[in-house]
């Protein structure tokens, strides 16, 4: 029996991992939780917690394996250090699937039907908890992302954020098990009706999604600079030929069709405090007669204190004036700073070559020539739905994401990161211009279509057409209202489950 439960639980983790890139067999997400639910419902609460932890450990070990190479190359960590940090992350994240399995098992006191009915609320609430963990919140590959490539289905996120899509997938898993266990006409009919409805939305729903026409122009420059952690004093001299080629590429693109020119976050010591780079930025803006947006390190030197460095985006106008700056607010733990530094001393190597960044505090909304507004979010910030939607809620009519994903190498993380950033466009009904160092550089319309894309690992300019949009979606206005409501419902159900004195009810 234990071997069967091991196979079911580990199989659940494998099936769920295969639903994400790569290979992104998204149909598996609709049944991947069923084996875990089967086990959770038939064992004691403590065992359910343990089996849920195992499912999470299998899933995260597969989908986050790229972090090992990231820690080894970017952080220059020893093998044991890389394994330790990755193991710690997997263990913490697995606590949430363990909590899900435990909650389902506890609800079984009121009957299997009730346990399955509450399970999607539990899952959704726990995803919100995973997002908001102190310092190490990591909403990477939430369940809804597995099916977000279906154009008709993903439109739900304008109401609920990605969490609503997770709820639908988790709920369908519960429905499958309920219909299979009951094997009566009514449960099977309900399952069949829901399945047909979902197939229609997935199959033909995208045909009814509007396809807006872009009338503005931007040039996304994919730098294709090699990842480096030790720049050295002569970095600009060593890369002079590459930088000159990038200047030429940017200026030619901007002259061919006037419009915003963008450089991404880059593995380079770009800073407006550096006179040589500042002159380069002003030259591009002047010679294209357009605004130039670029990722830089921004330095501050408080009197009597240690200098502060921010991961920033700045914009220079055609007159050579710096007219916009955003300092990245949500830094990468173990990448741009070390949380709980005094306890995790071995992880200090992770920032040894880059610097210990200071988080920004202001949600910046900039203006382009003509008064149209935009906001920038940088790299890792793209996976936090509630943080990106705040830019739009404060008036941004266009979203720009700059990122250096070269650290991911050729791993599945490249597509996973793109998959999550794309949903931010749909949640807020904004065009998204995503410019990266090595890929994936794209333009995404407000409904989630990728309208233009560059191949990875090339140095090129992607000329894209987009629009500015006003108005706010329900998700933009209310943020994470749905997962919070799901959490409230799950908590009330658990309280009721233990407070009631009636015999268990049979649902269905």
Quote the CA–CA distance of 103 and 117 in Å, as a whole number: 12
Two tokens, residue 390? 């705040």
Residues designated catalytic? 265, 328, 379
Q: How far is CA 124 from the centre of its chain?
A: 16
- CA distances to 25, 65, 87, 408, 413 from 69, rounded to whole Å, are 24, 8, 13, 8, 11
Provide the pairing of β-strand 460-466 with 450-453: unpaired
Alpha helices per DSSP H over 290-431: 385-393, 413-428
Quote the CA–CA distance of 300 and 310 in Å, as a whole number: 8
The per-residue DSSP string of 423-488 comes to: HHHHHHT--EEEEESSS--EEE-TTS-EEEEPPTT--EEEEEEE-------HHHHH-SHHHHHHHH
Two tokens, residue 126? 């726990």
Quote the CA–CA distance of 75 and 350 in Å, as a whole number: 4
Q: Is residue 382 within 8 Å of residue 417, measured between CB atoms?
A: yes
């Amino acid at each position: 029996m234990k071997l069967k439960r091991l196979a079911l639980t580990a199989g659940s983790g494998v099936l769920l991992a295969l639903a994400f890139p790569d290979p992104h067999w998204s149909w598996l997400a609709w049944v991947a939780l069923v084996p875990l639910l089967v086990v959770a419902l038939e064992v004691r609460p403590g065992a359910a917690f343990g089996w849920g932890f195992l499912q999470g450990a299998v899933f995260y070990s597969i989908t986050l394996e790229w972090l090992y190479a990231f820690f080894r190359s970017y952080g220059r960590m020893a093998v044991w250090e890389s394994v330790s940090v990755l193991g710690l992350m997997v263990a913490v994240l697995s606590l949430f699937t363990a909590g899900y399995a435990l909650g389902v098992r506890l609800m079984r006191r009121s009957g299997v039907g009730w346990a399955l009915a509450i399970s999607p609320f539990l899952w959704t609430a726990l995803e919100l908890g995973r997002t908001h963990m102190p310092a190490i919140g990591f909403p990477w590959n939430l369940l809804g992302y597995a099916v977000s490539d279906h154009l008709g289905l993903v439109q739900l996120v304008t109401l609920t954020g990605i969490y609503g899509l997770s709820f639908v997938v988790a709920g369908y898993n519960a429905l499958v098990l309920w219909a299979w266990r009951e094997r009566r006409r009514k449960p099977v009919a309900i399952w069949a009706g829901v399945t047909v409805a979902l197939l229609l939305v997935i199959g033909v729903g995208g045909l009814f999604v509007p396809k807006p026409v872009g009338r503005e122009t931007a040039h996304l420059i994919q730098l294709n600079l090699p990842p480096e952690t030790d720049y050295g004093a002569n970095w600009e001299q060593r890369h002079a030929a590459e930088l000159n080629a990038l200047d030429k590429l940017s200026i030619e693109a901007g002259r061919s069709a006037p419009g915003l020119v963008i450089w991404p976050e880059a593995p380079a010591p770009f800073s407006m405090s550096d006179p040589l780079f500042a002159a380069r930025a002003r030259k591009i803006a002047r010679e294209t007669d357009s605004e130039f947006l670029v990722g830089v390190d921004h330095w501050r030197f408080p009197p009597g204190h240690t200098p502060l460095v921010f991961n920033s985006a700045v914009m220079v106008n055609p007159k050579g004036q710096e007219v916009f700056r955003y300092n990245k607010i949500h830094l990468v733990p173990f990448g741009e700073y070390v949380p709980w530094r005094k306890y995790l001393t071995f992880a200090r190597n992770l920032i040894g070559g880059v610097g210990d960044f200071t988080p920004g505090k202001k949600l910046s909304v900039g203006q382009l020539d003509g008064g149209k507004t935009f906001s920038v979010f940088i790299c890792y910030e793209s996976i936090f739905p509630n943080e990106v939607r705040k830019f739009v809620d404060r008036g941004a009519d266009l979203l720009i994401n700059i990122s250096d994903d070269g650290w991911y190498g050729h791993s599945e993380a490249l597509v996973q990161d793109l998959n999550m950033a794309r949903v931010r466009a749909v949640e807020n009904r904004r065009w998204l211009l995503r410019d990266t160092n090595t890929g994936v550089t794209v333009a995404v319309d407000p409904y989630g279509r990728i309208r233009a894309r560059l191949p990875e690992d090339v140095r090129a300019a992607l000329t894209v057409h987009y629009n500015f949009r006003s108005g706010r979606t329900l998700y933009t206005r209310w943020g994470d209202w749905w997962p919070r409501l799901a959490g409230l419902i799950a908590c009330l159900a658990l309280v009721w489950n233990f407070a009631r004195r009636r015999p268990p009810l049979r649902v269905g």
